[in-house]
Amino acid sequence: MPDAHAPAAARTPDLLRPRGSNQVGMRQFNERTVLQALRVHGSLPKADLARLTGLSAQTIGLITARLEEDGLIVKQSRVRGRIGQPSVPLALNPDGAFAIGIKVGRRGAEWLLIDFTAQVRERHAIGYDFPDADALLPAIAQHIHRLRNGLGPLAARNVGVGLAAPFLLGGWHRTLGLSKAQSDLWNQMDLAAEVRSRIDLPVSFARDTVAACVAELVGGRGHDLKSFLYIFVDTFVGGGLVINSHLHTGAHGNAGALASLPMQPPGTRGALPPQLVAQASLWELEQRLSAEGLDPMAAYDDRALQPPFAQTTTAWLASASQALAHAIVCGTAMLDLSDVVVDGSMSRPLLQALLDQTRDALDHCNWEGLWQPQLHGGKAGAQACALGGAMLPLHANFAPDHDVFLKAA
């Protein structure tokens, strides 16, 4: 079998190049193709846009003139090359469009306003032990209106809201110490419909870790990796699956639901085996810290690796890394992927420690019959869920490939 640790340059796939059409009636598609090329490759002169998209120079000229008139792209300073006339690069206009992303989690909610280049313009977050629907739903609408109104004359360029939340926010209610009534309230709620009823903007929905995977696909490792298993360690743990630069969501939109992965075969007496969420989640680290009389919220910040929290965190790392290695071996056996990306709602030093120990655990796994994948740290970070949510309406309005985030398995 090939060397699992071959140089990355030899294994990096070619980026998918956006392709356009010169046919009459394809104006919107071609415009979106040009915008996608600028989003993926950065500022480009017209000649490079024509080469990348396959559109004629004349078509590129007409399209870029329209996009500039609509305020979606801007001209940059002339660049003088070695030969010929100086070129004028074109780039996305940050003020061309805006979107709002919302993460509703088990430990807090987060709102992001992003611009057309997916840069965060404003952020707001609140924490709680578990969300109270009567308080949170009005707060969601209030912060959306505040972010939108804060744009002033640019408010009309806000194209929508992307909502990221667990499919079953009240799931594992015994683990969380919730009543069945609390659990049922959230599990039976159509959260996206509740938000739509309170605002006058389009609302897209994705499972929280799928939204995080979107952020990684569009703005992180997805620029270099064509296919990968994505793991996001949050209060619970979940993930997503990218194949050929498309997000595969599965028959029920639940592909990558790693929290439910059993860690051992069923017991002989019918006892249910523990799941990945019981070992490789920040909830588990919370419980360990609480048992030592320490602040459980240190699991999410820089204190986790500092005294007096470090000893407890170190023990969690040993268990979590072994559990993640097990999940990665299982995923590799099923999917034969060359790359795995891990990120989470933790400090960057804690993520790095988790990556280092997971790599070591993977090196000690039995890989007979398999190719060991390379493990990468995610680039989106703790904001990944809300950021991916915000990217959904931008994609819906401006990307040429409508199913890149919604492709069924």
| Placement of tokens 């919107």 in the chain | 28
Does 86 share its domain with 112?
Answer: no
Predicted confidence at residue 120, as pLDDT, reads: 97
DSSP letters of 36-84?
HHHHHH-SB-HHHHHHHH---HHHHHHHHHHHHHTTSEEE---B--SSS
Q: Report if residue 6 sits inside a domain.
A: no
Buried-exposed string 220-237: b where 16+ CB fall within 10 A, e elsewhere: bbbeebbbbbbbbbbbbb
Predicted confidence at residue 186, as pLDDT, reads: 87
21 pLDDT band, cuts 50/70/90, is low
CA dihedral 341, 347, 352, 358 (to 10 degrees): -60
Does 281 share its domain with 312?
Answer: yes
- CA dist 34 and 37 (Å) reads 5
Does 185 share its domain with 275?
Answer: no
Domain edge (last residue) among 41, 66, 92: 92
CB count in 10 Å sphere of residue 180: 11
Per-residue CA distances from 331 to 156, 290, 315, 370 (Å): 44, 32, 25, 11
Q: Report if residue 403 sits inside a domain.
A: no
- Between β-strands 237-243 and 374-377, what pairing exists: parallel, antiparallel or unpaired? unpaired
**What's the structural domain count of the chain?**
3
CA angle 56, 222, 394 (to 5 degrees): 65
Buried-exposed string 11-44: b where 16+ CB fall within 10 A, e elsewhere: eeeeeeebebbeeeebeeebbbbbbbbbbbeebb
* pLDDT tens digits for range 81-130: 666 677 899 999 999 999 999 999 998 999 999 999 999 999 999 999 88
227 neighbors 385 (Cβ within 8 angstroms): no
What distance, in Å, lies between the first and last C-alpha atoms of the chain? 28
Q: Report if residue 272 sits inside a domain.
A: yes
Does 300 share its domain with 341?
Answer: yes
CATH number at residue 119: 3.30.420.40
Does 188 share its domain with 243?
Answer: no
Does 68 share its domain with 164?
Answer: no
Output the pTM of the full model.
0.87
Compute the average pLDDT of residues 340-361: 98
| Placement of tokens 């980026």 in the chain | 15
| DSSP type of residue 360 | H
Does 177 share its domain with 253?
Answer: no
pLDDT at 19 over 50: no
Q: Report if residue 402 sits inside a domain.
A: no
* pLDDT tens digits for range 260-307: 999 988 766 667 888 999 999 999 999 999 999 999 999 999 999 999
Does 159 share its domain with 181?
Answer: yes
Does 269 share its domain with 346?
Answer: yes
Predicted confidence at residue 178, as pLDDT, reads: 77
Does 362 share its domain with 227?
Answer: yes
Predicted confidence at residue 79, as pLDDT, reads: 80
CATH number at residue 80: 1.10.10.10
Does 260 share its domain with 372?
Answer: yes
Domain edge (last residue) among 76, 92, 108: 92
44 neighbors 33 (Cβ within 8 angstroms): no
The boundaries of the domain holding residue 36 are 15-92
Does 227 share its domain with 354?
Answer: yes
347 neighbors 305 (Cβ within 8 angstroms): yes
pLDDT at 371 over 90: yes
**Residue 48 burial (10 A CB sphere; 0-12, 13-18, 19+):** middle
Q: Which residues have CB under 8 Å from 331's CB, separation 6+?
A: 229, 337, 340
* pLDDT tens digits for range 140-183: 999 999 999 999 999 999 999 999 999 888 777 777 777 888 88
Q: Report if residue 318 sits inside a domain.
A: yes
Q: CA Rg, the chain, in Å? A: 23
Q: Report if residue 171 sits inside a domain.
A: yes
Q: Which residue(s) pair with 87 in the sheet?
A: 79
Q: Report if residue 5 sits inside a domain.
A: no
| DSSP type of residue 174 | H
Cis peptide bond upstream of 308, omega within 30 = yes
| DSSP type of residue 14 | P
pLDDT at 12 over 80: no
- CA dist 330 and 66 (Å) reads 49
Percent of the chain with pLDDT over 90: 72
Q: Report if residue 364 sits inside a domain.
A: yes
Strand residues in 210-328 grouped as ranges (E): 228-233, 237-243, 246-248
pLDDT at 409 over 80: no
Domain edge (last residue) among 64, 92, 120: 92
- CA dist 356 and 352 (Å) reads 6
- CA dist 9 and 369 (Å) reads 24
- CA dist 102 and 99 (Å) reads 10
Percent of the chain with pLDDT over 70: 90
